Every structure is written in C-alpha cells, then in structure tokens.
Amino acid sequence: MKIQPVTETSAISAIAPTSLKPEQDTKLPQGTQQTGSETLSTTNLEKLRSTIQSEPEIRGEQVQKALTWLSDPNYPPLNVLNAVASIFVSDAILKQGM
C-alpha cells in the first residue's frame, strides 16, 4: 500500500464541500445585497432607524439640572444619605440574623 504525503491543498480539498462552489448562483433573502464576497442586510437597518426615531429627544433642561447637582458638593443632602445608609445597615443586620 502506497501512502501519499498530505499537503495543504489535498487536506483542504478533502474536507471542502463539493456542493458549494463560488461560481454557483445563490438566491439571497429579500432586503439583502451582495458586494463581492460579503452580504449586507438592510432589514435590520430599517428596524434600527424606526427605533431611533421613536426614542424621545434629549431634554436640555434635565441635563442642565443633573450637571448642577453634580457640581454641588452638598448634593444629595446629608439627611438623604443617612436615610439610605440606614436602609443598607438594617438590611445587613436582618440578613445576619437569618
């Protein structure tokens, strides 16, 4: 029995599917374009555009309010911080008791 050496070309041709040849004409799904060896689907692009158009616009006054709060060293007020801290401490104590 004579064994032939395995080369890169023979290995690829051994595993390459014979039913998919580049010269075959394949039908693309509707809304898809082929450029060279790549395909581009425009169906999802239309969904993205409609989603973006349905989003609310940015409200400048709310952004300005947030920027003002961020620049204020006394925000949030100390009583709010203490209330939130007491909630966390109470929760931690309750979980330890379980």
Question: How far apart, in whole angstroms, are the C-alpha atoms of residue 69 and residue 80?
Answer: 14
Q: Provide the mean pLDDT of the chain.
A: 75
Q: Tell me the per-residue pLDDT of 81-98, one tens digit each, with 9 for 90 and over.
A: 999 999 999 999 988 876
Region at 36 (left for phi over 0; alpha for psi -120 to 50; beta for the rest): left
User: Within 13 A of 47's CA, how many CA atoms are on the CB side?
Assistant: 5
Q: What is the pLDDT, as a whole number, of residue 68?
A: 95
3-state secondary structure of 44: helix
Output the tens digit of pLDDT for each of the chain's 98 residues: 555 555 555 555 555 454 445 555 566 666 666 666 666 667 788 888 888 888 888 888 999 999 999 999 999 999 999 999 999 999 999 888 76
Q: How far apart are the first and last CA of the chain?
A: 75
- How far apart, in whole angstroms, are the C-alpha atoms of residue 39 and residue 41? 7
Domain boundaries, the chain: 60-98
